[in-house]
Structure 1
Amino acid sequence: MKVLLVIDYIKGIAEAPGTCADYLCSHPETLSNTNRLIHAFREKGFPVFFVRLAFDEAYTGLPLYAPNREALKGGGLFQLGAVSTEFIEGLGYCEGDAVFDKKSGDPFCGSGLLEALRKLDVNEAVLCGIATDNAIEHGANTAMQNNLKVVVVSDACGAATEANHAQALARIERQSASIINVSNLLVQFSD
């Protein structure tokens, strides 16, 4: 079974002053392509999981030696219930959709995501979201290391810069996943 992982389309990352805000403004097709994927997966009856960076008030699960630990805690960033953890407007998220709260760049870190995929007997993870050079790259590597077939949808991902995005896609393709664009993936769905 396939699953779509929609990663970090939250206000603290995707809207100013978030690290990927400029990219998404320059590339609005990234979000529209993500929504095309969400719609197609739902239509085919495949699960769609939303993953976001989010912590409780004590920042439980935040790695002890994370370089940004004090900045996150001191600024109250990415706490559950804060604006920074809300999904951005225009994203095809619906109340009741499955949401997994990760504790670092890796979507599998502290989120329970891997356990949920195993429970559903998922063998293929399709990734989209931001940032290509952080959550997408880490997620692709972890999924591959856990024996999942991994597909990253290049035009439904973004990073802080086009260069970061392109470099991350090249690394991902060498190390852990197939790279495809939305149109080609959707053609496969119609076969």
Structure 2
Amino acid sequence: MLNAKRSAFVIMDLQNGIVSRFANNPEVIQPFRKALEAARKHGIPVIFVRVGFNEGYPEVSPRNKSFSVVAQHGGMTIHDEATQIHESVKPLPGEPVVTKFRISAFAGSNLEVILRAKQVENLILCGISTSGVVLSTVREAADKDYAITVLKDACLDADPEVHRVLTEKVFPRQADVKTVEDWIESLA
């Protein structure tokens, strides 16, 4: 049985600029909402993670293939609407919103400091995208010796085949992979 006091529900990159890529199907947010409600109901601390940059993009190297494009075109600063947590999963007072400057939720953020302060050992992860923040965070969390659960239907990727391969073949090597429904049942 999961120890809620030693766990954290980490919901990653559900911010306006990323969720909007899936706006043609608002139903895709439902598993995230359901998992978030279950975490809160069972007293599991919730941590939101977003990606954003300071004005002038001091964190972005011109050698960074992904983020140098953002710096050239503008947007995605910590104050932009695109980097704010999506209204459908709005944080409650006291739920931290961690800003990261790379793909992994740990990279350049205070996530690990928060997890240590709360004495967290178990991470429940969900986010957009499976091949981005979820993959990078699973890998780093495993190297940091966290027990990890990935909620596969509360992860999205633009490429369904990449999502399938990661959740069925790659993640199970380092994490328990469950549906939101199975995870909720395990909490009872």
TM > 0.5 between the two?
A: yes
Matches within 5 A, 1:5-24: 5-15=10-20, 21-22=21-22
Which residue number corresponds to residue 130 of structure 2? 132
Alpha-carbon distance, 1:158 to partner: 0.4
Q: 1:84 to 1:175 in 2, by over 3 A?
A: same
Identity %: 22
Deviation sequence 1:99-150 (CA, Å, 0-9, x none): 0001111111001111211111100000011000110011011111101001
User: In the alignment, is the contact (CA less than 8 A) between 2:60 and 2:71 conserved in 1?
Assistant: no
| Larger displacement relative to structure 2 (80-89 or 55-64) | 55-64
TM-score for the superposition, normalised by structure 2:
0.89
1 CA distance for matches of 2:10 and 2:148? 11
User: In the alignment, is the contact (CA less than 8 A) between 2:10 and 2:49 conserved in 1?
Assistant: yes
Q: Give the unaligned 5+ runs of structure 2.
A: 1-5
| Larger displacement relative to structure 2 (32-41 or 102-111) | 32-41
Matches within 5 A, 1:84-103: 84-103=82-101
User: In the alignment, is the contact (CA less than 8 A) between 1:35 and 1:92 conserved in 2?
Assistant: no
Find runs of 4+ consecutive structure 1 residues off by over 4 angstroms. Answer: none
Matches within 5 A, 1:109-128: 109-128=107-126
| Larger displacement relative to structure 2 (42-51 or 66-75) | 66-75
Paired residue secondary structure (2:89): coil
User: In the alignment, is the contact (CA less than 8 A) between 1:61 and 1:110 conserved in 2?
Assistant: no
Q: 1:69 to 1:134 in 2, by over 3 A?
A: closer
User: In the alignment, is the contact (CA less than 8 A) between 1:63 and 1:103 conserved in 2?
Assistant: no
Which residue number corresponds to residue 18 of structure 1? none
Q: Give the unaligned 5+ runs of structure 1.
A: 16-20
Paired residue secondary structure (1:116): helix
Which residue number corresponds to residue 188 of structure 1? 186
1 CA distance for matches of 2:105 and 2:128? 11
Which residue number corresponds to residue 149 of structure 1? 147
User: In the alignment, is the contact (CA less than 8 A) between 1:7 and 1:107 conserved in 2?
Assistant: yes
2 CA distance for matches of 1:150 and 1:78? 29
Paired residue secondary structure (2:181): helix
TM-score for the superposition, normalised by structure 1:
0.88
Measured on the aligned residues, the alpha-carbon RMSD in Å equals 1.8
